[in-house]
Each structure stands twice: as C-alpha cells, then as structure tokens.
Amino acid sequence: MAVLEIKGLRKKFGGVMAVAGVDLEVQEGTIHSIIGPNGAGKSTLFNLISGYYPSDGGQVFFKGKDITGLSPQEIVKMGMGRSFQVTEIFPKLTVFANIHATILYHRGEGLRLFKNAGRLFREETEEILSMVGLIDKAAETSGTLAAGDRKRLEFGIVLATKPDLLLLDEPTCGMSPAETSETIDLIQEIAAEKALSVLFTEHKMDMVFCIASSITVLNFGTIIAAGKPEDIRANEKVQQIYFGEDQCSLK
Amino acid sequence: MDIGRAKRGATERSNTEKWLWGGISCLALIAIPFVLEKGFSQYDLYLVIKILVFALFAMSFNLVLGYGGMMSFGHAAFFGVGAYCFSLLLVRASCPLVLAFLAAPFAAAIVGLIIGYFSVKIKGVFYFATITLSFAQLVYILAFKWRSFTFGDDGIQGIPVPAFISTDVSYIPYYFFALVITLICIYVLWKISKSPFGMMLMSLRENPERAAFIGIKVERYRLIAFVISAFFSGVAGVLYALLETSIAPEILYWSMSGDVILMGLLGGMTLFLGPALGAAIMVFLNSFITSYTEYWGLFLGTTLILIVLFFPKGLGGLAVEKYRTWVKGKKK
Amino acid sequence: MPFDPSILFVQFVSGLSRAMILFLMASGLTLVFGVMNVINFAHGAFYMIGAYMAFTLTQYLTGPLGFWVTLLIAPTIVCIVGGIVEVTLLRRIYKKEHLLQILLTYALIFVFNDLIKIIWGVDLRIVNLPKSLQGFVRFFGHRFPVYYFFIIGVGTAVAILLWLLLKKTRFGKVLRASAEHRDMVGLLGYNVGGLFTLVFVLATWLGGLSGAVIAPTVRLSLGMGMEIIIQCFIVVIVGGLGNIWGALLGALIAGQVYAFGILILPNFAMAFLFILAAVIIIFRPYGLLGKAA
C-alpha cells in the first residue's frame, strides 16, 4: 500500500517553475529518498507535501486520503512528521521540555490551563529521549547542543507526534562524517522499531544508496529517474547530473 | 538518570524550608501594613498597595511577553478599560461593587479579544508592537473624546468606594482587600504558567514554525494568552481605580504600556515573579528618586540601558543566577 | 455656513509640508533599519535636539543669515551626538534581538528627554521665522505661509540628494549592498563598523535637520520627540521598512491623512494615522513598497 502518493504536483515562484509536475509513491514501511542537485526543488516539494506552501496544481494523497491544501497542523495530526534542513527545535527550553511539550500537545492536553504539566507523560518523554539517545542530556538547554544532538532532538520531537511517515529534509546537512553515520543509523533504527515509512532528501550519495529501498531523482523540478538503487546507479541521465560515490559507509 | 526521581528528592529535601519561608512571608504580609502606617506614614502603605496593583498588571502582561514572546505595546488599553468600566458602572449606574468588579475584567477581556484577533496574526516584533500601540491609542482617543460617556479629560473623580475598603481613614483595610485579590490572581497565573498551556505558549515563543509542525494552532494559542492577560490586566485596573478613587484618560496612554514593559525588563521576563519585582523596584524608586530630583527619566533610562546590555534577564534573573552559583559552591 | 472646497487645497499643501518633515525623519529611520537592521526608537530625540539647537542658535545668530547658518550648524551638532551614541551604545546591540533593541532605544528616549530638560528647561520655547521666509503667498484666493513651500523645497532637495547618494556614489552602492548582504560587505574588506557609524550619522543628520526646519512652526516642548517617532513608525510601516522611496510614499500618505484628519478630529488627527497603520499591518504587512523577507 502506498502511504504517500503524489500526482502532478506543481509550484511556481514568480516566473520559475520550482516543482513542475511531480509524481511519486512511497510504499508503506519503506525508506524512499529524493536526490538531486541544489535548486532541484527538493525542499519546495517537502514544503508542498507538508502543507507549508499551497500548490499550484496536482494532488497529494496520504494514507489514501487527499491532503492537498490542508494546513500543516492538520497534516501533522494525520500522522506525517517533518524535520527541517536547518534543525528546528525550541532553543531556550530544556531537552526534556522540547519532547514533553510535543507530547502534551499531541495527547490533547494543550488547552489544559490548570493542570500541572510537570506530572504528565513523564515516562513517554523519557522513552523517546532514550530512543534518540539524549536521556543523559535531558536537563540541558537544547540551544546549546551540538549539531548532531540537535538533530536527534528534532527526531525526538517528530517521533513524539506518533507519525506514520517521516519527512526528513537533508537530515545530515552540515554534519561531520561521524555524525552523519550516527544519524543514518538512528534513522534506520527508528524506522525499523516503529515500523515507519521514511521519505528523505539528501546530497550525500553514499548515505542514500545505503539505506534507501527506492530513489527518485529530481532536477529543475521534474523527475529524471525513479526506481531501485541499482537501477538509478546505472541510469545514464543520473550519472550525467552528478557522479555519485557508491561506497557504503555503514555496516 | 531518572529525572523524575531526581526531582522528587529535591522537593522532599526542601519541604521544611518551604514551610518556613511560607510562614515568614505570611507573617510579613500581615505585619507590613501595620508597621508602615503606624511606624512610617500612610503614604508608604499607599506605595505598597500600588506595588501590588502594578505587580499584578506586570505579571498578567508577562503572560504575553515573557511566556508568549509577544511584545504588546498596548496593554494600557486593558488596564484602562478595566478601571474605566468599573468606575463608570459605579458612578453612572450605581452598580453594586461585586457586580462591577466581575464585569470590568470581562470588558477588558473582550477588548483583548478584539485587539488580539487582529494582532496575533502579525509576525515581527516591530509590527506587533506598532499595531497593538495603534489599537490602544485609539481606545485612549475614544476615552478622551467621548466626554458624554467617559467624562473625557476630566476623568472620573470621587469613585464611590464602599465603606469597608475605603481609604479615607486608613489604607489598611484596602491593603488586605487588594492583597487577597492579587494573591488569588497570581495563583491562577501561576497555575496557568505551569500548565500544558503554558508549555505550548513557550514553545510557540521559541519557534512558531516548529510549533506549527507539531500541530499547534499558533494564532489560537496566542489569542487565548492575550485574552487571559487582558482579563487580569483589567483586574489590576479595577484595583487601581479603587486605590486612587479617581482615574483619567492618562492611564490608557501608551506610556503606561511602556512602563509595564519596563517593569518586566527590570525584574526579569523569564522569571514568573520577575515582573512583580520590577514593579516593586519601579514604584519604590520612582517615589524615592522624584523626592530628590526631577530627573527620574535620566535615572530610569540609564538603569534600563545597563540592564539590557549587561543583565538582560533583569535584576530578578541576576539574583537567581547568583543564588544558583552560591548553592553550587556550597555543595562542593 | 457653506463648505469651502478650497480649504481642501490648503490642507493638501499643509499635508505636503508635514509629509516632507516626516520624510526627512523616516528616511533616516528606514536607512538605519535597512542597512543595520536596527530599530531606533530614540530617533525622535535627535529631532528634538535639532529643534532645541535651532532655538539656541537663532538666539545668538540674529543677523539676516542667522537662520541659514543655523540650518547648517544644528544638524551637524546633532549628527555628532548621533555618532557618539552609535559608537558607545548602539554598536553593542546590533546582534541582539529586535525586542531588546526596541527596549534599549526606548530607554534612551528617557535619558535624552531629561538631558534636554537639564539644558533647556521645561518651558515651551519658540523659534522665530527668519524675515526672508515670513509672510504668505496667494494661490486660488487662499493664503499659504511661505514657510510651507520652504519646507517642501528642503524635503524635495534632500530626496534628490539622497537618491544621488544612493545611486551614483560608491558609498551609496556599498550601503545598498549592505542592506542586501550584510556579511558579504565585511568579507569584501569594507570596514563595516565605520560604515554603520556613517549611516547612523547620516540618519541623525536628517533627523536634526527636520527638527531645525520645523522649529519655527511649532512650540518646542519635551513631548515633541515622542509624538514624531510614533508618526515615523507608521510612515515606515506604510511605505515598507528599509525602503527610502517607501519612506517618501509613506510620508506623503501620512501627511495627507493627518492634514485631512485635522478637519474631522482637530486634536486627534493621530487617530487616522493609527487606523492607517492597523490597516496596512493587517493587509499589506510589508508595506506598500516593501518585500516579504
């Protein structure tokens, strides 16, 4: 079953066609990657899928339902979680509070004005912190974390909304090779443990070919190629766009 | 590390300390009025009550600024509407105290709803400040011009304060009245700040985008905070009217909005009680300094500049930091 | 009593002259924001200093050229003060969030107000119109103060000079580049600190000039600075923050709104400016000529 289906999605900015009719399918429980050079339209595509931008045409189906034109809040509620290229967290709150606040909202406690927040959902918060490996840093101010830990925290926030599909926009952007491979391991672990589907964009080819079970290649807002990693690797058009390294830096 | 357990331990250890401090505070609060009025002067007790009023105003305001991250430059409107609605009900409609006292904050909350509805959508500190200032000034101008209703720039003189809290003979009865009301309101604000709603507010203060992407309807939450803040600012306005027994349109002017922001800055916007401390400092220092010199602005301005540059967490924030370092030092 | 439509023309000219003053002030404010990303709440203080300096200078320079010399000296003194403020104080808050910038510059207003109080006292001051600019001209059967046209002339001249400065000079090019890419300009080897000081000096010069120019037409009081800064904020919001032409357009609109507002609410024409501000902020949040960030 396709957890995400995109048909003919289009978006124009001024005179530029940022996304020019994209079709895409993500199968349930798989890790799908979108690759393409800078300016190919990857982030725009994510913003369209997650409801951050309105589209100029086309449709997006999530778990079989048409979500075109819905607000980000509504889409999140349906089970799509999103991380950003520039990690978005709540900097002045503690690591614990970042996850805690998310869980509180997600469980519908957001409008409770007179309950003590501190006592609610502590175990769930700690569980997620353990899963992303931040339990030791729970009391630290999240703004002071290193890049890799910030990304973990962001994953934690996304996980707290109990998503079925993860949209990860360049999850290893700006990370060192060590941080990158840690993050990739984390994504695989989380996806496996929670039986999630993942759609992510990336630049680093080695990472993509290691964990993705299917790949879409985007350039100038259109799909150049789509399919299994071996097919993409062999595809001439893709090789023309850039020569990807296919070393597997993981187990 | 089990965070839950660490926290519980800390509470147990300081429970006796808490009771001790609580008891001393209570005694102090009860003793103050008598000490001041008999030992010093009525004026000093008047100042303390004024501190209570502005502490409440500043703490209500801080729900929007410190917790919600919105710098409203128009909160004088809610304070003033509370004061005016209450006074007008008493003076023009001979309304019983309890009814007027209940109605006025709701009037302030309604004004908060209207102004807030348009303002919470606005992004950018400067634009938000200007639009709230603009709306509040329109309220000021309305109060000034609508003489037939609000008495215009004559203001409302001689508000009929009920005998049991009248300040004709002594400020002591009114002190206790204002104290009880203020403490109740502060307790409610405290509960709200510690609630899940309070956490939502802080999240959308920190990162509205991220908040939206965990599903929070940012504008709705901001509006709720705004209306609650307006309500309690209105209560402060009522207490002000009862204290002064006369009010004028000046309380709606934007310099009042500026003052309450400065109180937050002085005491610390990140602390719950910070603005209360700021109010106390400002009211007290204003009275003290103006008895020696007419250049209060110079003193206040310089102090605030120093605070922004060196102690942006306010004097309260500074005190808490010093205390924490002192405690850590003791542990070693 | 029949309504005389030519009074509209009188108000129009009055609105134009007010617009020029607002433009002089707002261009400084918007320049500082565009290049340095700072919102200077205390801009009105420089206006006030300009006006009070004009008062003092015209007391001493009583000859026929007195007023003209004043117009040269007063803004210069003001911009020196501006330079000092920038170097000692403003530099420290460039990297801070807008909220703290607004708070610091708001606190600065208190300081300046009292300093002016110390030097000039609380009495209302009056500056006399220079002989050469006194009197009226007649248009369509109405009398207009000559001084209105002087103000309009000064405003237009400054607008042209600013345009030349920004478009044709190297300094102007660097300013425009800084507004777009602050960090790049530093990397290219320009002394960004010095640049910022110059921009602020220019802005305060404009503020001082507008204060000196308007001085003969108003009673100088300690509340002047506050009044004008709020109007400036509205002007830059209407026109678009960071946009000089926006400042001009905003000033022209605000000037007319105020001038006609006086006909409806004689003491509270500001009400119409507040309504204008609210409408623009809600419907055109980046101003009429501004761009989304």
The string of DSSP codes covering chain C is: ----THHHHHHHHHHHHHHHHHHHHHHHHHHHHHHH----TTHHHHHHHHHHHHHHHHHH--STTHHHHHHHHHHHHHHHHHHHHHHHTGGGGTTS-HHHHHHHHHHHHHHHHHHHHHHH-SS-B--PPPGGG-SEEEETTEEEEHHHHHHHHHHHHHHHHHHHHHHHSHHHHHHHHHHH-HHHHHHTT--HHHHHHHHHHHHHHHHHHHHHHHGGGS-B-TTHHHHHHHHHHHHHHHH-TT-HHHHHHHHHHHHHHHHHHHHHSTT-THHHHHHHHHHHHHH-TT-SS----
SS3 A156: helix
**Closest CA in chain A for residue B4:** A122
Q: Per-residue pLDDT averaged across B248-259, rounded?
A: 95
The pLDDT tens digits of the residues spanning B32-75 come to 888 887 778 888 899 999 999 999 999 999 999 999 999 999 99
Band (B300; pLDDT cuts 50, 70, 90): very high
A93 to chain B: which residues are within 8 Å by CB? 202-203, 206
**Closest CA in chain C for residue B305:** C104
Task: Mutation target for A interface from B210, B217, B328: give the one with most A CBs within 10 A.
Answer: B210
pLDDT at B332: 60
Q: Which of B126, B138, B297 minimises the CB distance to C113?
A: B297
SS3 B190: helix
H/E stretch holding B91 reads: helix B76-93
Domain boundaries, chain A: 1-79+164-251, 86-162
Q: Is B194 exposed, middle or buried (0-12, 13-18, 19+ CB in 10 A)?
A: middle
SS3 A3: strand
Q: What is the CA radius of gyration of chain A?
A: 18
pLDDT at C84: 95
B/e letters for C116-136, b = 16+ CB within 10 Å, e = fewer, are beeebeeeebebebbeebeee
Contact A88 B200 (CB under 8 A): no
The mean of the pLDDT values for chain B is: 90
Query: Apex CA C209: angle with CA C204 and CA C211, to 5°?
Result: 95
Fold annotation for A1-79+164-251: Rossmann fold (3.40.50)
pLDDT at A242: 64
Q: Tell me the nearest-neighbour CA distance from B206 into chain A, angstroms.
A: 5
Q: Is the pLDDT of residue B5 over 60?
A: no
Q: Are A166 and A199 in contact (CB under 8 A)?
A: yes
Q: Are B209 and B218 in contact (CB under 8 A)?
A: no
pLDDT at C140: 73
The pLDDT tens digits of the residues spanning B191-205 come to 999 999 999 999 999
pLDDT at B280: 95
User: Which residues of B lie inside 8 Å of C (Cβ-Cβ)?
Assistant: 71, 118, 121-127, 129-131, 133-135, 137-138, 141, 144-145, 254-255, 258, 261-262, 265, 294-298, 300-302, 304-305, 308-309, 312
C224-239 and C244-264 helices cross at what angle (nearest 10)?
120
Q: Is the pLDDT of residue A39 over 50?
A: yes
For residue B155, give the DSSP letter.
-
How far is the CA of A178 from the CAs of A174, A175, A183, B181, C251, in angstroms? 12, 8, 9, 58, 56
Chain position carrying tokens 């605000």: C254
Query: Apex CA C277: angle with CA C271 and CA C278, to 5°?
Result: 90
Band (B4; pLDDT cuts 50, 70, 90): very low
Q: Are strands A2-13 and A57-62 parallel, antiparallel or unpaired?
A: antiparallel
SS3 A65: strand
How far is the CA of C118 from the CAs of B296, B297, B302, C211, C228, in angstroms? 12, 11, 15, 19, 21
Q: Is the pLDDT of residue B12 over 60?
A: no
The mean of the pLDDT values for chain A is: 86
Q: What would you measure as the largest C-alpha separation in chain B, in angstroms?
A: 69
**Closest CA in chain C for residue B143:** C268
Contact B196 A88 (CB under 8 A): no
**Closest CA in chain C for residue B140:** C271
Q: Is the pLDDT of residue B11 over 60?
A: no
pLDDT at C3: 65
**Closest CA in chain C for residue B264:** C103
Token code pair at residue C80: 């020196």
Q: What's domain B41-331's architecture?
A: Orthogonal Bundle (1.10)
Q: Per-residue pLDDT averaged across A202-206, rounded?
A: 75
Query: Is A46 an interface residue toward B (CB < 8 Å)?
Result: no
Q: Tell me the nearest-neighbour CA distance from C234 into chain B, angstroms.
A: 8
Contact C277 B130 (CB under 8 A): yes
Q: Is the pLDDT of residue A111 over 50?
A: yes
B228 to chain A: which residues are within 8 Å by CB? 113
Q: Are B247 and B159 in contact (CB under 8 A)?
A: yes
Q: Is the pLDDT of residue A167 over 90?
A: yes
pLDDT at C2: 55
Contact B301 C285 (CB under 8 A): no
pLDDT at B249: 95
H/E stretch holding A173 reads: none
Please give the Cα distance from A13 to C140 (Å, whole number).
Answer: 51
- Chains within contact range of chain A (3+ C-beta pairs < 8 Å): B
Band (A219; pLDDT cuts 50, 70, 90): confident
Residue % of chain A over a pLDDT of 70: 96
Query: Is B8 an interface residue toward A (CB < 8 Å)?
Result: no
Q: Are A243 and A35 in contact (CB under 8 A)?
A: no
The pLDDT tens digits of the residues spanning A182-191 come to 888 888 888 8
Q: Is the pLDDT of residue B10 over 60?
A: no
Distance spanning both ends of chain A, measured CA to CA: 29
Q: Is B6 exposed, middle or buried (0-12, 13-18, 19+ CB in 10 A)?
A: exposed
Q: Which of B122, B294, B305 minimises the CB distance to C108?
A: B305
Instruction: Give pLDDT tens digits along chain C (293 positions).
Output: 456 777 788 889 889 999 999 999 999 999 999 888 899 999 999 999 999 999 999 888 877 788 889 999 999 999 999 999 999 999 999 888 889 999 999 999 999 999 999 999 888 888 888 888 888 888 777 788 889 899 999 999 999 999 999 888 888 888 888 777 777 777 777 777 888 999 999 999 999 999 999 999 998 999 899 989 999 999 999 999 888 899 999 999 999 999 999 988 888 899 999 999 999 999 988 888 877 64
Domain boundaries, chain B: 41-331
Q: What is the CA radius of gyration of chain C?
A: 19
C102 to chain B: which residues are within 8 Å by CB? 71, 125-126, 129
